[in-house]
Amino acid sequence: MDKKTENTSPVRPFKLEEDERDMTLRPRNLSEFLGQKGMKENLSVFISTAKERGESLDHLFLIGPPGLGKTTLAQVVANELETGFVQTSAPALDKPKDLVGLLTNLKKGDVFFIDEIHRLKPAIEELLYIAMEDYGIDWVVGQGPMARTLRIAIKPFTLVGATTKAGVVSSPLISRFGITCRFSFYEQEDMESIVRRSAGLLEIKMEKDAVSLLAKSSRGTPRVVNRLLRRMRDFAQYSGEETITNKVVRNGLSRLEIDEMGLEKQDREILKIIIERYKGGPVGAETLAISIGESVETLEDYYEPYLIQAGLLQRTPRGRMVTNLSYGHLGIVPNLTADEEILLLNLFN
Protein backbone atom coordinates (compact mmCIF):
# COMPACT_ATOMS: atom_id res chain seq x y z
CA MET A 1 0.00 0.00 0.00
CA ASP A 2 1.22 3.52 -0.79
CA LYS A 3 2.51 5.15 2.40
CA LYS A 4 0.73 8.37 1.50
CA THR A 5 -2.66 6.68 1.56
CA GLU A 6 -2.12 4.17 4.35
CA ASN A 7 -4.22 4.79 7.44
CA THR A 8 -1.79 4.51 10.38
CA SER A 9 -4.05 6.23 12.90
CA PRO A 10 -4.88 4.09 15.96
CA VAL A 11 -8.33 5.69 16.06
CA ARG A 12 -11.15 3.48 14.80
CA PRO A 13 -12.84 5.37 11.91
CA PHE A 14 -16.57 5.91 11.91
CA LYS A 15 -18.38 3.23 9.94
CA LEU A 16 -19.06 4.24 6.37
CA GLU A 17 -22.20 2.28 5.44
CA GLU A 18 -23.95 5.66 5.21
CA ASP A 19 -26.61 4.98 2.58
CA GLU A 20 -28.16 2.06 4.47
CA ARG A 21 -27.91 3.63 7.90
CA ASP A 22 -29.22 7.06 6.82
CA MET A 23 -32.46 5.41 5.76
CA THR A 24 -33.03 4.49 9.42
CA LEU A 25 -32.94 8.15 10.49
CA ARG A 26 -36.54 8.55 9.37
CA PRO A 27 -38.98 7.65 12.18
CA ARG A 28 -41.23 4.71 11.39
CA ASN A 29 -44.02 5.38 13.87
CA LEU A 30 -45.45 8.17 15.99
CA SER A 31 -43.48 7.19 19.07
CA GLU A 32 -40.22 7.68 17.16
CA PHE A 33 -41.38 10.97 15.61
CA LEU A 34 -39.92 13.54 18.01
CA GLY A 35 -41.42 17.00 18.56
CA GLN A 36 -44.75 18.48 17.38
CA LYS A 37 -46.37 17.01 20.51
CA GLY A 38 -49.90 18.39 20.20
CA MET A 39 -50.16 17.48 16.54
CA LYS A 40 -48.96 13.92 17.23
CA GLU A 41 -51.41 13.40 20.07
CA ASN A 42 -54.35 14.41 17.90
CA LEU A 43 -53.17 12.26 15.00
CA SER A 44 -52.84 9.28 17.31
CA VAL A 45 -56.52 9.64 18.25
CA PHE A 46 -57.67 10.01 14.64
CA ILE A 47 -55.61 7.03 13.45
CA SER A 48 -56.65 4.67 16.24
CA THR A 49 -60.37 5.46 15.87
CA ALA A 50 -60.24 5.10 12.07
CA LYS A 51 -58.62 1.67 12.50
CA GLU A 52 -61.25 0.61 15.03
CA ARG A 53 -64.03 1.51 12.58
CA GLY A 54 -62.23 -0.17 9.69
CA GLU A 55 -62.33 3.08 7.70
CA SER A 56 -59.78 5.13 5.81
CA LEU A 57 -58.33 8.04 7.73
CA ASP A 58 -59.73 11.43 6.72
CA HIS A 59 -57.64 13.29 4.16
CA LEU A 60 -54.71 15.01 5.81
CA PHE A 61 -53.31 18.47 4.98
CA LEU A 62 -49.73 19.20 6.14
CA ILE A 63 -48.47 22.78 6.26
CA GLY A 64 -44.99 24.01 7.13
CA PRO A 65 -41.53 25.10 5.96
CA PRO A 66 -39.20 22.59 4.26
CA GLY A 67 -37.34 20.05 6.35
CA LEU A 68 -39.72 19.82 9.31
CA GLY A 69 -40.92 16.28 8.56
CA LYS A 70 -44.03 16.49 6.37
CA THR A 71 -42.99 13.63 4.09
CA THR A 72 -41.77 11.61 7.05
CA LEU A 73 -45.06 12.09 8.89
CA ALA A 74 -47.01 10.93 5.82
CA GLN A 75 -44.96 7.71 5.83
CA VAL A 76 -45.47 7.34 9.58
CA VAL A 77 -49.24 7.66 9.12
CA ALA A 78 -49.17 4.85 6.54
CA ASN A 79 -47.13 2.68 8.90
CA GLU A 80 -49.50 3.35 11.80
CA LEU A 81 -52.50 2.51 9.60
CA GLU A 82 -50.65 -0.59 8.33
CA THR A 83 -51.44 0.33 4.72
CA GLY A 84 -49.55 1.00 1.53
CA PHE A 85 -47.82 4.31 0.79
CA VAL A 86 -47.80 5.92 -2.66
CA GLN A 87 -45.78 9.09 -3.11
CA THR A 88 -45.66 11.72 -5.84
CA SER A 89 -45.35 15.50 -6.20
CA ALA A 90 -47.60 18.01 -7.91
CA PRO A 91 -45.04 18.98 -10.60
CA ALA A 92 -44.78 15.30 -11.60
CA LEU A 93 -48.52 15.18 -12.37
CA ASP A 94 -48.39 16.75 -15.81
CA LYS A 95 -51.64 15.40 -17.30
CA PRO A 96 -54.91 14.09 -15.85
CA LYS A 97 -54.07 10.57 -16.97
CA ASP A 98 -51.01 10.66 -14.67
CA LEU A 99 -53.28 11.11 -11.67
CA VAL A 100 -55.85 8.60 -12.93
CA GLY A 101 -53.15 5.95 -13.27
CA LEU A 102 -52.07 6.41 -9.65
CA LEU A 103 -55.57 6.57 -8.19
CA THR A 104 -56.88 3.48 -9.97
CA ASN A 105 -53.95 1.42 -8.68
CA LEU A 106 -54.50 2.34 -5.02
CA LYS A 107 -55.58 -0.41 -2.66
CA LYS A 108 -58.19 0.06 0.04
CA GLY A 109 -56.93 2.31 2.80
CA ASP A 110 -53.69 3.30 1.04
CA VAL A 111 -52.04 6.61 1.89
CA PHE A 112 -51.54 8.72 -1.25
CA PHE A 113 -49.02 11.50 -0.64
CA ILE A 114 -48.76 14.56 -2.90
CA ASP A 115 -45.91 16.92 -2.08
CA GLU A 116 -46.03 20.60 -3.13
CA ILE A 117 -49.77 20.25 -3.58
CA HIS A 118 -50.08 24.00 -4.12
CA ARG A 119 -48.53 23.45 -7.57
CA LEU A 120 -51.30 21.20 -8.91
CA LYS A 121 -52.67 22.15 -12.31
CA PRO A 122 -56.38 23.16 -12.29
CA ALA A 123 -57.50 20.22 -14.47
CA ILE A 124 -55.78 17.72 -12.16
CA GLU A 125 -57.07 19.45 -9.04
CA GLU A 126 -60.66 19.17 -10.30
CA LEU A 127 -60.22 15.42 -10.76
CA LEU A 128 -59.14 15.18 -7.15
CA TYR A 129 -62.35 16.76 -5.83
CA ILE A 130 -64.58 13.80 -6.71
CA ALA A 131 -61.85 11.30 -5.87
CA MET A 132 -61.53 12.73 -2.36
CA GLU A 133 -65.26 13.00 -1.68
CA ASP A 134 -66.89 10.14 -3.57
CA TYR A 135 -63.94 7.86 -4.35
CA GLY A 136 -64.53 8.10 -8.05
CA ILE A 137 -63.13 9.72 -11.19
CA ASP A 138 -65.15 11.36 -13.94
CA TRP A 139 -63.49 10.52 -17.24
CA VAL A 140 -64.66 11.93 -20.59
CA VAL A 141 -64.80 9.36 -23.42
CA GLY A 142 -65.12 10.41 -27.04
CA GLN A 143 -65.30 13.85 -28.60
CA GLY A 144 -67.94 16.32 -29.72
CA PRO A 145 -71.59 15.19 -29.73
CA MET A 146 -70.52 11.60 -29.02
CA ALA A 147 -68.62 12.49 -25.85
CA ARG A 148 -69.87 11.01 -22.59
CA THR A 149 -68.67 10.93 -19.02
CA LEU A 150 -67.82 7.70 -17.26
CA ARG A 151 -67.54 7.42 -13.49
CA ILE A 152 -64.58 5.19 -12.58
CA ALA A 153 -64.77 3.86 -9.03
CA ILE A 154 -61.63 3.85 -6.92
CA LYS A 155 -61.01 2.28 -3.55
CA PRO A 156 -61.24 4.43 -0.39
CA PHE A 157 -57.90 6.04 0.34
CA THR A 158 -56.30 8.79 2.42
CA LEU A 159 -54.85 11.74 0.55
CA VAL A 160 -52.01 13.49 2.36
CA GLY A 161 -51.19 16.84 0.80
CA ALA A 162 -48.11 18.78 1.87
CA THR A 163 -47.32 22.41 1.16
CA THR A 164 -45.04 25.22 2.19
CA LYS A 165 -47.56 27.75 0.83
CA ALA A 166 -51.00 27.11 2.26
CA GLY A 167 -52.13 30.57 1.17
CA VAL A 168 -52.02 29.69 -2.52
CA VAL A 169 -53.93 26.40 -2.23
CA SER A 170 -57.48 26.86 -3.53
CA SER A 171 -60.33 26.98 -1.02
CA PRO A 172 -62.28 24.12 -2.70
CA LEU A 173 -59.28 21.83 -2.28
CA ILE A 174 -58.52 22.85 1.31
CA SER A 175 -62.17 22.32 2.31
CA ARG A 176 -61.95 18.66 1.32
CA PHE A 177 -59.27 17.84 3.88
CA GLY A 178 -60.70 16.58 7.15
CA ILE A 179 -57.50 17.01 9.18
CA THR A 180 -55.03 19.89 9.08
CA CYS A 181 -51.61 19.76 10.72
CA ARG A 182 -49.46 22.87 10.88
CA PHE A 183 -45.76 22.28 11.59
CA SER A 184 -43.72 24.73 13.66
CA PHE A 185 -39.96 24.95 14.08
CA TYR A 186 -38.73 22.52 16.71
CA GLU A 187 -37.84 23.53 20.25
CA GLN A 188 -34.25 23.19 21.52
CA GLU A 189 -35.14 20.19 23.71
CA ASP A 190 -36.72 18.34 20.80
CA MET A 191 -33.77 19.12 18.54
CA GLU A 192 -31.38 17.69 21.12
CA SER A 193 -33.48 14.52 21.29
CA ILE A 194 -33.31 14.24 17.49
CA VAL A 195 -29.51 14.65 17.56
CA ARG A 196 -29.15 11.94 20.21
CA ARG A 197 -31.44 9.58 18.32
CA SER A 198 -29.68 10.11 14.98
CA ALA A 199 -26.24 9.84 16.57
CA GLY A 200 -27.24 6.55 18.15
CA LEU A 201 -28.52 5.15 14.87
CA LEU A 202 -25.33 6.23 13.08
CA GLU A 203 -23.22 4.85 15.97
CA ILE A 204 -21.65 8.25 16.64
CA LYS A 205 -20.36 9.24 20.09
CA MET A 206 -21.08 12.84 21.10
CA GLU A 207 -20.36 15.01 24.12
CA LYS A 208 -23.39 16.53 25.82
CA ASP A 209 -22.25 20.09 25.05
CA ALA A 210 -21.72 19.13 21.40
CA VAL A 211 -25.29 17.83 21.18
CA SER A 212 -26.63 21.07 22.61
CA LEU A 213 -24.56 23.29 20.32
CA LEU A 214 -25.42 21.33 17.19
CA ALA A 215 -29.13 21.41 18.05
CA LYS A 216 -28.99 25.15 18.68
CA SER A 217 -27.29 25.78 15.32
CA SER A 218 -29.74 23.81 13.18
CA ARG A 219 -32.57 26.30 12.55
CA GLY A 220 -35.08 24.22 14.51
CA THR A 221 -35.18 21.85 11.51
CA PRO A 222 -34.58 18.07 11.69
CA ARG A 223 -33.37 17.83 8.09
CA VAL A 224 -30.71 20.45 8.81
CA VAL A 225 -29.54 18.88 12.06
CA ASN A 226 -29.18 15.44 10.46
CA ARG A 227 -27.20 16.93 7.59
CA LEU A 228 -24.91 18.82 9.99
CA LEU A 229 -24.47 15.73 12.17
CA ARG A 230 -23.06 13.82 9.20
CA ARG A 231 -20.70 16.71 8.43
CA MET A 232 -19.51 16.85 12.04
CA ARG A 233 -18.84 13.13 11.80
CA ASP A 234 -16.65 13.84 8.76
CA PHE A 235 -14.71 16.57 10.55
CA ALA A 236 -14.21 14.37 13.63
CA GLN A 237 -13.05 11.42 11.57
CA TYR A 238 -10.67 13.60 9.55
CA SER A 239 -9.18 14.92 12.80
CA GLY A 240 -8.77 11.42 14.20
CA GLU A 241 -11.42 11.87 16.88
CA GLU A 242 -13.63 9.02 18.06
CA THR A 243 -16.09 11.39 19.71
CA ILE A 244 -17.72 14.54 18.37
CA THR A 245 -16.73 17.16 20.92
CA ASN A 246 -17.88 20.73 21.43
CA LYS A 247 -14.62 21.86 19.81
CA VAL A 248 -15.27 19.69 16.74
CA VAL A 249 -18.74 21.18 16.34
CA ARG A 250 -17.50 24.76 16.76
CA ASN A 251 -14.73 24.27 14.23
CA GLY A 252 -17.06 22.44 11.84
CA LEU A 253 -19.73 25.13 12.00
CA SER A 254 -17.09 27.79 11.45
CA ARG A 255 -15.83 26.00 8.34
CA LEU A 256 -19.38 25.71 7.06
CA GLU A 257 -19.96 29.43 7.86
CA ILE A 258 -22.86 28.69 10.19
CA ASP A 259 -23.26 30.67 13.41
CA GLU A 260 -24.77 29.61 16.73
CA MET A 261 -28.22 30.87 15.73
CA GLY A 262 -28.10 28.54 12.75
CA LEU A 263 -27.71 31.37 10.26
CA GLU A 264 -25.85 30.45 7.10
CA LYS A 265 -23.79 32.88 5.04
CA GLN A 266 -26.77 33.63 2.79
CA ASP A 267 -29.02 34.36 5.78
CA ARG A 268 -26.57 36.95 7.05
CA GLU A 269 -26.18 38.35 3.55
CA ILE A 270 -29.94 38.91 3.34
CA LEU A 271 -29.93 40.87 6.58
CA LYS A 272 -26.82 42.87 5.62
CA ILE A 273 -28.26 43.83 2.23
CA ILE A 274 -31.47 45.11 3.82
CA ILE A 275 -29.44 47.12 6.35
CA GLU A 276 -26.69 48.45 4.11
CA ARG A 277 -28.51 49.00 0.81
CA TYR A 278 -32.05 49.71 1.99
CA LYS A 279 -31.44 51.30 5.41
CA GLY A 280 -33.13 48.43 7.23
CA GLY A 281 -36.10 48.26 4.88
CA PRO A 282 -38.76 48.02 3.78
CA VAL A 283 -37.72 46.29 0.56
CA GLY A 284 -39.86 44.18 -1.78
CA ALA A 285 -39.36 40.42 -2.07
CA GLU A 286 -38.50 40.51 -5.77
CA THR A 287 -35.92 43.25 -5.30
CA LEU A 288 -34.38 41.41 -2.36
CA ALA A 289 -34.29 38.10 -4.25
CA ILE A 290 -32.46 39.73 -7.16
CA SER A 291 -30.00 41.35 -4.75
CA ILE A 292 -29.00 37.99 -3.24
CA GLY A 293 -29.15 36.03 -6.51
CA GLU A 294 -31.95 33.71 -5.43
CA SER A 295 -35.48 33.09 -6.67
CA VAL A 296 -38.39 34.67 -4.83
CA GLU A 297 -39.66 31.17 -4.08
CA THR A 298 -36.37 30.17 -2.41
CA LEU A 299 -36.32 33.40 -0.43
CA GLU A 300 -39.88 32.95 0.82
CA ASP A 301 -39.82 29.18 1.38
CA TYR A 302 -36.34 28.55 2.79
CA TYR A 303 -34.75 31.70 4.20
CA GLU A 304 -37.58 33.92 5.44
CA PRO A 305 -39.55 31.50 7.67
CA TYR A 306 -36.64 30.92 10.05
CA LEU A 307 -35.44 34.55 9.98
CA ILE A 308 -38.96 35.63 10.93
CA GLN A 309 -39.28 32.92 13.58
CA ALA A 310 -35.93 33.97 15.07
CA GLY A 311 -37.14 37.58 15.31
CA LEU A 312 -34.58 38.91 12.83
CA LEU A 313 -36.91 39.84 9.98
CA GLN A 314 -40.40 41.25 9.57
CA ARG A 315 -42.84 41.09 6.67
CA THR A 316 -44.85 44.29 6.34
CA PRO A 317 -47.34 45.50 3.70
CA ARG A 318 -44.55 47.67 2.29
CA GLY A 319 -41.88 44.94 2.23
CA ARG A 320 -39.24 43.21 4.35
CA MET A 321 -37.63 44.96 7.32
CA VAL A 322 -34.93 43.88 9.72
CA THR A 323 -35.43 44.11 13.49
CA ASN A 324 -33.15 45.58 16.14
CA LEU A 325 -32.08 42.02 16.95
CA SER A 326 -30.52 41.76 13.47
CA TYR A 327 -28.29 44.75 14.12
CA GLY A 328 -27.12 43.25 17.40
CA HIS A 329 -26.53 39.79 15.93
CA LEU A 330 -24.48 41.17 13.04
CA GLY A 331 -22.66 43.69 15.22
CA ILE A 332 -23.88 46.63 13.16
CA VAL A 333 -24.75 49.95 14.77
CA PRO A 334 -28.04 51.28 13.35
CA ASN A 335 -28.23 54.76 11.87
CA LEU A 336 -29.63 56.98 14.59
CA THR A 337 -31.62 60.17 14.38
CA ALA A 338 -30.27 63.28 16.09
CA ASP A 339 -32.66 62.79 19.03
CA GLU A 340 -31.67 59.12 19.39
CA GLU A 341 -27.97 60.03 19.36
CA ILE A 342 -28.50 62.60 22.15
CA LEU A 343 -30.48 60.03 24.19
CA LEU A 344 -27.72 57.43 23.70
CA LEU A 345 -25.00 59.90 24.73
CA ASN A 346 -26.94 60.83 27.86
CA LEU A 347 -27.16 57.16 28.84
CA PHE A 348 -23.38 56.78 28.81
CA ASN A 349 -22.52 60.15 30.37
Angle between helices 222-238 and 208-216 (to 10 degrees): 130
Strands 85-89 and 148-153: unpaired
CA-closest candidate to residue 163, choices 180, 186, 185, 178: 180
First to last CA, the chain: 71
> For residue 107, is it left (φ>0), alpha (ψ between -120 and 50) or beta?
beta
- Helix (H), strand (E) at residue 206: strand 205-206
Task: Indicate which residues carry an active-site annotation.
Answer: 70-71, 115, 164, 223
84 burial via Cβ count (<10 Å: 0-12, 13-18, 19+): middle
Q: Encode 97-164 in three state secondary structure.
A: HHHHHHHHCCCCCCEEEEECHHHCCHHHHHHHHHHHHHCEEEEEECCHHHCEEEEEECCCCEEEEEEC
| Amino acid code (one letter) for 231 | R
- d(Cα 101, Cα 120) in Å, to the nearest integer? 16
